[in-house]
Chain A
């Protein structure tokens, strides 16, 4: 089976940088994804790492270390609209599905 761990809550001030960590245990690992979900809304895809290293997309970056079964999402220049829940998810090739973590609730304050 698969299991993922991420912090339940993170608080940061507007303009700051925040890092959300994710550790996972899985078999048949394909890659690590990150999703954002605002209250009452649909999860939306942010990034995907299949290989070790850092992927940058605007203010958001995502990192993966396959040997450590670890990744993180880095959000820079935080804005109030970034207040949401962030989920890491692992892709496993055998069933081609995504298994999601329990989510990290980010609160951006003034």
Chain B
């Protein structure tokens, strides 16, 4: 059973370009979470999605950031017009039940975005 798959693992963008990060949850998992991590810091919640629905996007910046989890295909985190402050590791996690209720999330290896 494959784990959470994220791609690309590393992404370099120039300021003003767009970044698209993809996440395929574990088989059978319908809950997907995106977290951002800066060097030497903790994991900051961004958004929680279920198939075709955004459940909680309270951690996502109002501008330039969007996320989706379509009926078919991976979840996508999209960052438009990237700025240097967007440079970070973006982790996707999935769970079979709601993560806040079971405490257990399965994380991917992360996508490391560098903005030049």
* A100 adjacent to B104 (CB under 8 Å): no
Q: Give the contacting residue for B45; candidates A32, A98, A101; CB below 8 A.
A: A98
A32 touching B43, Cβ below 8 Å: no
With beta carbons under 8 angstroms apart, the residue of A33, A41, A50, A100 that contacts B35 is A100
Q: In the complex where A96-B48, A96-B98 touch, is A43 in contact with B103 (Cβ < 8 A)?
A: no
| Chain B: interface residue total (CB-CB under 8 A) | 27
Q: In the complex the two chains form, is B100's CB within 8 Å of A96's CB?
A: yes
Let me know if B104 and A33 touch, CB within 8 A. yes
Q: How many of chain A's residues have a CB under 8 angstroms from any CB in B?
A: 26
Given contacts A42-B109, A100-B35, contact A91 B42 (CB under 8 A): no
Interface residues of B (CB under 8 A from A): 31, 33, 35, 41-45, 48, 55-56, 58, 91, 93, 98-110
